[in-house]
Amino acid sequence: MPRVNFAAPATVDEAVAVLAGSSGLAKVLSGGTDLLVQLRSGRTRPELIVDTKRIPGLIGIREEADKFVIGAATPGVMLSANHALDHAWPGIIEGVDLIGSQQIQGRASLAGNLCNASPAADSVPAVIAARTTCVVAGPGGSRRTVPAEQICTGPGRTSLGKGEFLIEFHIPKPRPHQCDAYLRFIPRTEMDIAVVGCGVNVTLDAGGTCTDARVVLGAVAPTAVIVDEAAQALIGHKLDADTLARLDAAAQRATKPITDKRGTIEYRTKVAGVLARRVAAIAFERAAAR
């Protein structure tokens, strides 16, 4: 691999300083499961790599009264093993669990999955559907809170400025009768990239009518997309045949897919609708059961 400089700072501000002070491209390293592949292929040629895993808090999960605070570099194995998180948001954990093999899970983080900015990133739809916010550290001690959906701007592109990086994810805790689900569609059962991914997060009233919803599709547009029209199809309704049909149609309309070896535009569009229906059914069932 090409030569590169390396720093493993012990504090957030030190990390910001080295990132901001780099004359060439500087890359943050979390689990490296995207970054190292890209370094080797030459797709990215950074002058500096900054490993954030030595910074206290960057790995770990903390529960507060109204939210989970998750260190940006926390690996998948730690997220899945956290019973409170898994119980609160099974859909987020379903997305995390789909990322690669057990070997990849030992390293892959939410921050890397989001900031790699692949439209097919599996943890992202359910993370966005839960109205997660990200804490972004930057020069001058700045800390800004950004909704997760505003981090990616296109394939491989983020809204982060020079010297900025994610330090935490804040995932709100579920309200009564609120739950989520995530499914991806791939041509095989393991180790593939989503043809379509869908995260749905719903809140129901005591009678099972939806009072709030977020439907997020992955792999069908340059970034994950929040489908407001699909959420509107759910809100005020139970999950009957009419509602499912409107959800399906709204999901299909929201896609701007491409044709590649995993599927054509027509196929992805159709699968988006089917998947939205399936995921909504799971999310409704879970929400009703709590």
Partner 1 sequence: MSKHHVTTTINGEPMEYLCEAQQTMLDVLRDELGLTGSKEGCSSGDCGACTIIVDGNITCSCLMLGVEAEGRKIETIEGIAQGDRLHPVQQKFLEHAALQCGFCTPGFIVAAKALLDTTLNPTEEEARYWLAGNLCRCTGYDKIIRAVLDAAAVMRAEAGR
Ligand X SMILES: Cc1cc2nc3c(=O)[nH]c(=O)nc-3n(C[C@H](O)[C@H](O)[C@H](O)COP(=O)(O)OP(=O)(O)OC[C@H]3O[C@@H](n4cnc5c(N)ncnc54)[C@H](O)[C@@H]3O)c2cc1C
Binding region for partner 1 (CB under 8 A) = 1-6, 8, 29, 31-33, 36-37, 39-41, 49, 51, 53, 75, 77, 100-107, 190-191
Judged by beta carbon distances under 5 to 8 A according to partner kind, the member of partner 1, ligand X, none in contact with residue 28 is ligand X
Q: Which is nearer to partner 1, 3 or 261 (CB)?
A: 3
C-alpha span between 82 and 105 (Å, rounded): 14
C-alpha span between 227 and 172 (Å, rounded): 20
* Amino acid, res. 279: V
CB of 265 vs ligand X, minimal distance in Å: 21
Rg (CA), the chain: 19
Is residue 182 within 8 Å of 201, Cβ to Cβ? no
109 belongs to the binding site for ligand X (CB under 6 A): yes
Judged by beta carbon distances under 5 to 8 A according to partner kind, the member of partner 1, ligand X, none in contact with residue 121 is ligand X
The DSSP H or E segment spanning 137 is strand 133-138
Sign of CA dihedral 83, 129, 74, 32: positive
Judged by beta carbon distances under 5 to 8 A according to partner kind, the member of ligand X, partner 1, none in contact with residue 190 is partner 1
Number of residues that bind ligand X (CB under 6 A): 29
The DSSP H or E segment spanning 62 is strand 61-63
User: CA 93 → CA 6, 30, 100, 246, distances in Å?
Assistant: 32, 19, 13, 27
Among 31, 71, 90, 174, binds ligand X (CB under 6 A): 31
**Interaction mask 145-184, ligand X, x per CB under 6 A:** ---------------x----xx------------------
Judged by beta carbon distances under 5 to 8 A according to partner kind, the member of partner 1, ligand X, none in contact with residue 102 is partner 1
113 belongs to the binding site for ligand X (CB under 6 A): yes
CB of 240 vs partner 1, minimal distance in Å: 35
Among 55, 70, 79, 108, binds ligand X (CB under 6 A): 108
Judged by beta carbon distances under 5 to 8 A according to partner kind, the member of partner 1, ligand X, none in contact with residue 109 is ligand X
**All residues at 6 or more sequence positions from 116 whose CB lies less than 8 Å from its CB, including other chains:** 34, 35, 156
What's the order of all strands across the beta sheet hosting 210-218?
A: 178-185, 196-204, 210-218, 225-226
Q: Which residues sit at the interface with ligand X, rule CB under 6 A?
A: 27-35, 37, 52, 72, 98-100, 104, 107-109, 111-113, 115-116, 121-122, 160, 165-166
